[in-house]
Chain A
């Protein structure tokens, strides 16, 4: 189905200098501290997001990455109108989210892997009926959408069981139908695959990609599973401690942080460990090695030479060349950023 384009030709998500602070009550553990807090409460202002700016176009799929507490979920909540920004401006589909204009709410959806909107004691079909009424969707159109989504996610036999009797993965799929029933044009997905098994994760990714392509919907996705990001997001926005540290092409990020490639060599015959180690060490940095397989870290410019040497010198059964795992890339990026900040802080003292 082709998207009907009220959103074409402009930034569907526009975030400028966004900051969000929370006032948090803090007290040490223990009864004495609890009693003291009766009379005198100590509050601390926590900066969840600071000076964040980015823009997302129609139909883009963007990964939103950062360690725990980086400010990802806070940003998604601001973008979906749940939280008011402390400073800065945000527009989604031309609307100011915190004003919660019904037209804005029809445009977006927020799926949080750890929270649910399904009515707990009723079958998901009841939630769908309720959402159909709330979003004022003609019955025939809603039925067609629900049936299409049910077929895509293969949940025909689940939607009539009470939500509380479904497994986490089953519930998550039913949840997606409820969240997408009104065919939102902007999807905020916060850990949509959390707790799902590997095959279910793959299915969910396939579904999100399919929805994005069918409806031209923009997708902003947070996930701690880097496979989600690699599979879905050509572009990533990375934040740490509320600050933007990267916004751009995922491949470019990997190249910039870890310019080496991973070359995995599977051997067709066992070779003496010490001899193999010595041979490989002349070619590149050895990441791991055992009797049947070796993994090398190779600068991008030397990959073809290393492959040629390996094929010539070793009994190679199979050879693969990949980017380093995104988990490693992210870890290195955050470590480097924190080191830079510490150095800057030291210098300013």
Chain B
């Protein structure tokens, strides 16, 4: 099954990209809704005008929030909403009837959005290099490798988290509500709104062990030079351990859920 899935994957990606292009207006509107890092950048930039906040001067804030914007655009998926809808209205049936694991189909659909997102983030990347290029740690090949691995890890971690939450729709009607709660915690604990080192001590300690940071803050901190090589490597290990845990949890909940699937309406 894995071998035939691998053979099918390039076609799935190609069809997925056609789908993303068909939904280009929605895609662009979504991009516009992810402007919170720019708002936060404006605020913190002003705050740092009088002097650095911890390790963050104005340039560091610029580097941090532009990196947050770029990494978030690259790694986020909307599979939880899609799964929840397909489970509730029964359209998941079409995926279950094909000899391809639905989670592989979902992954291809969502990975297919990445190339178009690359196009969108390229101007952000150019601005990032022009305004704060000297703060980027990726001139160190080891850190660059860790950063790239952490990007993949972040995508997988977010994907499996969303699959886990989406699969809860097999059991409860309020899975999306639960996910909204998760998102609210994520906004604070991932470094999306505020750099984690600006949080009070104990909150920062908690944030460092929870999975949220490994979805966003960790790759960004690595990119903008806030992580040493050894710390980044250790964090990469933790991130991929989380990937394995969430992958196992997502598949377990999915399997249990499919047994309960009622295929109403579809």
Residue of A at shortest CB range from B173?
A25
A-B contact pairs, 27 of them (CB 8 A): A77-B93, A77-B263, A82-B93, A83-B261, A83-B262, A84-B259, A98-B259, A102-B99, A105-B98, A105-B99, A106-B99, A109-B97, A112-B266, A115-B90, A115-B91, A115-B93, A119-B19, A121-B19, A122-B19, A129-B14, A129-B15, A130-B12, A133-B11, A134-B8, A135-B98, A135-B99, A136-B8
The 7 closest A-B pairs by CB, nearest first: A133-B11, A102-B99, A133-B8, A121-B22, A105-B99, A117-B94, A136-B4
Which B96-125 residues sit within 8 Å CB-CB of chain A?
96-100, 105
Given A82-B97, A83-B261: A122 touches B15 (CB 8 Å cut-off): yes
Chain A: minimal CB distance from B198 (Å):
40
Chain A: minimal CB distance from B45 (Å):
40
Q: Could you tell me which B residues sit within 8 Å of A by CB distance?
A: 1, 4, 7-8, 10-12, 14-15, 18-19, 22-23, 90-91, 93-94, 96-100, 105, 259, 261-263, 265-266
Q: A115–B94 contact, CB under 8 A? A: yes
Which A242-293 residues sit within 8 Å CB-CB of chain B?
none
A22 beta carbon closer than 8 Å to chain B:
yes
A81 beta carbon closer than 8 Å to chain B:
yes
Q: A100–B96 contact, CB under 8 A? A: yes
Q: Could you tell me which A residues sit within 8 Å of B by CB distance?
A: 22, 77, 80-84, 98, 100, 102-103, 105-106, 108-110, 112, 115-117, 119, 121-122, 126, 129-136, 162
Task: Determine the chain B residues whose CB is within 8 A of the CB of A116 once the complex forms.
Answer: 94
Q: A82–B15 contact, CB under 8 A? A: no
**How far apart are the CA atoms of A112 and B93 in the complex, in Å?**
10
Q: A134–B98 contact, CB under 8 A? A: yes
Chain B: minimal CB distance from A95 (Å):
12
Q: A129–B11 contact, CB under 8 A? A: yes
**How far apart are the CA atoms of A126 and B94 in the complex, in Å?**
15
Residue of A at shortest CB range from B14?
A129
Task: Determine the chain B residues whose CB is within 8 A of the CB of A136 once the complex forms.
Answer: 4, 7-8
Task: Determine the chain A residues whose CB is within 8 A of the CB of B100 once the complex forms.
Answer: 102, 134
Q: A80–B99 contact, CB under 8 A? A: no
Residue of B at shortest CB range from A48?
B262
Chain B: minimal CB distance from A195 (Å):
16
Task: Determine the chain A residues whose CB is within 8 A of the CB of B98 once the complex forms.
Answer: 105, 131, 134-135
**How far apart are the CA atoms of A242 and B98 in the complex, in Å?**
27
Q: A82–B261 contact, CB under 8 A? A: yes
Residue of B at shortest CB range from A188?
B97
Task: Determine the chain A residues whose CB is within 8 A of the CB of B262 once the complex forms.
Answer: 22, 83
| Interface-central residue, A82, A98, A117, by most chain B CB under 10 Å | A82
Q: B99–A134 contact, CB under 8 A? A: yes
Task: Determine the chain A residues whose CB is within 8 A of the CB of B97 once the complex forms.
Answer: 80-82, 105, 108-110, 117
| Interface-central residue, B12, B90, B93, B97, by most chain A CB under 10 Å | B97
**How far apart are the CA atoms of A342 and B204 in the complex, in Å?**
70
Extra contacts besides A115-B265, A133-B12 (13): CB < 8 Å: A22-B262, A82-B263, A83-B262, A105-B99, A112-B93, A112-B266, A116-B94, A117-B97, A121-B23, A122-B22, A133-B11, A134-B98, A136-B7
**How far apart are the CA atoms of A314 and B212 in the complex, in Å?**
90
Chain B: minimal CB distance from A92 (Å):
12
Task: Determine the chain B residues whose CB is within 8 A of the CB of A117 once the complex forms.
Answer: 94, 97
Task: Determine the chain B residues whose CB is within 8 A of the CB of A98 once the complex forms.
Answer: 259
Given A105-B99, A115-B93: A83 touches B263 (CB 8 Å cut-off): yes
Chain A: minimal CB distance from B2 (Å):
11
Residue of B at shortest CB range from A25?
B173
Task: Determine the chain B residues whose CB is within 8 A of the CB of A100 once the complex forms.
Answer: 96
Task: Determine the chain A residues whose CB is within 8 A of the CB of B18 once the complex forms.
Answer: 122, 126
| Interface-central residue, B1, B98, B105, B259, by most chain A CB under 10 Å | B98
**How far apart are the CA atoms of A121 and B11 in the complex, in Å?**
17
Residue of B at shortest CB range from A131?
B98
**How far apart are the CA atoms of A115 and B86 in the complex, in Å?**
12
Question: A82, A119, A129: which contacts B96 (Cβ < 8 A)?
Answer: A82
**How far apart are the CA atoms of A150 and B14 in the complex, in Å?**
23
**How far apart are the CA atoms of A117 and B90 in the complex, in Å?**
12
Q: B15–A126 contact, CB under 8 A? A: yes
Q: B8–A119 contact, CB under 8 A? A: no
Chain B: minimal CB distance from A68 (Å):
14
Q: B99–A119 contact, CB under 8 A? A: no
Task: Determine the chain B residues whose CB is within 8 A of the CB of A102 once the complex forms.
Answer: 1, 4, 99-100
**How far apart are the CA atoms of A104 and B17 in the complex, in Å?**
29
Residue of A at shortest CB range from B7?
A136
Given A100-B96, A105-B97, A110-B97: A133 touches B261 (CB 8 Å cut-off): no
Task: Determine the chain A residues whose CB is within 8 A of the CB of B263 once the complex forms.
Answer: 77, 82-83
**How far apart are the CA atoms of A129 and B262 in the complex, in Å?**
29
**How far apart are the CA atoms of A122 and B24 in the complex, in Å?**
13
**How far apart are the CA atoms of A133 and B104 in the complex, in Å?**
13
Task: Determine the chain B residues whose CB is within 8 A of the CB of A131 once the complex forms.
Answer: 98
